[in-house]
Chains A and B, each alone.
Chain A
Amino acid sequence: MKTKSNLLLALFACFMITACSTSVERLDSQEQVDLSGAWNDTDSQLVAREMIEDSLSRPWITRFITRTGNDPAVIVGTVKNLSHEHINTNVFIANMERELINSGQVQFVASATARQEIRDERSDQAVNATQDTRNAKSQEYGADFMLQGQINTIIDIDGKTQVRYYQVNLELISMQDNRKVWIGEKKIKKLVRFSKLRQ
């Protein structure tokens, strides 16, 4: 009887130790994993892809090409986080930039921070690089449109259940005359049920 209970105790101890150990599993970056219900990489990728696809399918692009004969040059400006979560908007901006560039339908201009770094490098080249490898100043490609936007949320709570509503609004604004040529909106609604019990 005593041996049996000791054995059970040992088994229980083994189970507890195994249950407490850390485990790591590699996942495909496209795989959807929702842990807390908060804004995550899946939301960021999904919204960026859908909104850029929508913007590139609208008439502003063909009108611009017809008028100028060139592909429009786009720059991504600020995406304000007005949500109740600490969202890294840089990831979302990077996702949108990737979708825009890979579409092949628009030219893409580097952001203000990146441009400043490049200008610094060009100034350095002007002093230190040979004449035939040097890049001249004032040859930058100016953007025709700027993409700006914001992420908003509405949270509804009842006990351990939450409805999280995310709304992403993006606007494409003409640099020439401040006209808004495209407005996009993407909504995500999540129902999150928090566990009533824990270990």
Chain B
Amino acid sequence: MYKILLILTLTLLCGCTGYQRNLNQLATSLNTTPPEIILAKLQEAQPRKRDYAQFHLNKGYLEFINGDFASAITTLTLAKKEMSVLQATSVSENLGAGTISETLRSYSGYPTDRVMVHNILALSYLFSNNINSARVEILQADIAMKKLADKDSLNGQLASTHLISGIVYEMLNEQSNALISYRFAADTIKQRGQPVPQGLKQALLRMSFKLGTEQQFFDYQKQFPDLSVENLHRKNQVFVLYFDGVVSHKVENTVVLPNRGFDQLIRISMPAYPQPKQNIKRIQLSVPEQQLVTEAVENVEVLAREDLDKEYPSILLLTTTRALAKYELVYQANKQDSVVGLLLNIATLISEEADLRSWNMLPASIQFAYLETNQNELKINESNGRSESIDINNSSQNIILINSLSDQVFQYQRP
């Protein structure tokens, strides 16, 4: 019986750690290696069925930043469906997680993943010139956030999603919806203790003015006295999003202790995030009459930590239960045969690993800037010296996405 358990444990876990370690290395090397190379390497990997959602999230995101929007839509839609199916509880997976390892559970996505997937899909549709499908995604994101809403926590509430929703609604001339979304974005940012970007303040002012909600407009004017509403007639609107860096991935904190009788070792492994990197880069945007920099809308590092914090108590409980179950198993085996007991103890030590899975290729921060101009050329200067010029048509609305991982700049233009 114990031999079977030993073989089963080792077979089940063989390759688990290796795959995740490789994935974390790939995510880290995104900062220095072109995303198309990382995508090729990722596709070489053979994920286990229980890691499919994580695999598809990362693959879809890489396809997105490589500009392959059709593939990104297919892959991320698949990830979305997988995460939705996995919201139901599996008894066998929970049993495996409670007795052998946390990684035996299927990756069902953290709250951030379940909302962020709609962001990337909405942007993929926009850059494929399909704003109506982008609208569908933002409606789905709204449902996802409502599902996750909790009066005591902001977990799963993304300011960037509300902002993208606002932009899409504004482009579709749904002014009331746009104002509501911009307001949600600003409220979420304030609740996280961050400063509201100028572009978002302008959006609140602009939409309340357009809607003719006088009281609201005056309130915003009082709140933002340095801003004014310009006549948008014949002006170009430019919404710039900047994806900076790569979010950090989880690390394992492990403690190995002998039991009181020194006849077996007990290992406890918990996931944790390292200190977030502080070097947030911004980009500078300029047209002849004005110059501005992007401002943070979403700190994905914070979101990732919030996700883990929320799960931490249940992870701790399960890890403790598992340690007790493994201890008892080795203890019983030791009583029958000390060699089998020793082998089983080794197996329980190897099998005990923290679940380090996450959507680890997301940007570390999402930034935003907005400008109105009569000019037809926008200059972008990145902190790494890279500069780019973007053509803007007369009387157009534009969404521009720049990311620090590749040289590609994506633009959606609407007359």
Report which A residues bind B (CB closer than 8 A). Answer: 80-86, 153, 155, 157, 194-199
Contact = CB atoms under 8 A, between A and B. Distances in A.
Contacts of B147: 157
B87 interface: yes
B91 A197 contact: yes
Q: Which 10 A-B residue pairs are closest in the complex by CB-CB distance? A: A84-B139, A198-B88, A195-B88, A198-B90, A86-B136, A84-B140, A155-B143, A197-B89, A157-B147, A197-B88
B114 to A, nearest CB: 13
Interface secondary structure of B, over-half rule: helix
B90 A199 contact: yes
B132 A198 contact: no
Nearest to A199: B90
B92 A81 contact: no
Given A155-B143, A157-B143, A157-B146, A81 B132 contact: yes
A81 B90 CA distance: 35
A197 B93 CA distance: 11
Interface in B123-151: 132-133, 135-136, 139-140, 142-143, 146-147
Contacts, number: 35
Interface of B: 85-92, 132-133, 135-136, 139-140, 142-143, 146-147
A81 B136 contact: yes
Contacts of B92: 199
Nearest to A80: B132
Contacts of A80: 132
Contacts of B136: 81, 83-86
Contacts of B90: 197-199
Contacts of A196: 88-89
Nearest to B90: A198
28 contacts: A80-B132, A81-B132, A81-B136, A82-B135, A83-B136, A83-B139, A84-B136, A84-B139, A84-B140, A84-B142, A84-B143, A85-B136, A86-B136, A153-B139, A155-B143, A157-B143, A157-B146, A194-B87, A195-B88, A196-B89, A197-B89, A197-B90, A198-B86, A198-B88, A198-B89, A198-B90, A199-B90, A199-B92
Contacts of A81: 132, 136
B172 to A, nearest CB: 10
A81 B134 CA distance: 11
Contacts of A153: 139
Contact of B85 (A83, A155, A198): A198
A49 B147 CA distance: 35
A168 B147 CA distance: 25
A38 to B, nearest CB: 11
Given A82-B135, A195-B88, A199-B90, 5 more contacts: A81-B136, A83-B139, A84-B140, A86-B133, A194-B87
A86 B137 CA distance: 8
Nearest to A153: B139
Contacts of B132: 80-81
Interface centre among A83, A84, A194, A196 (most CB of B within 10 A): A84
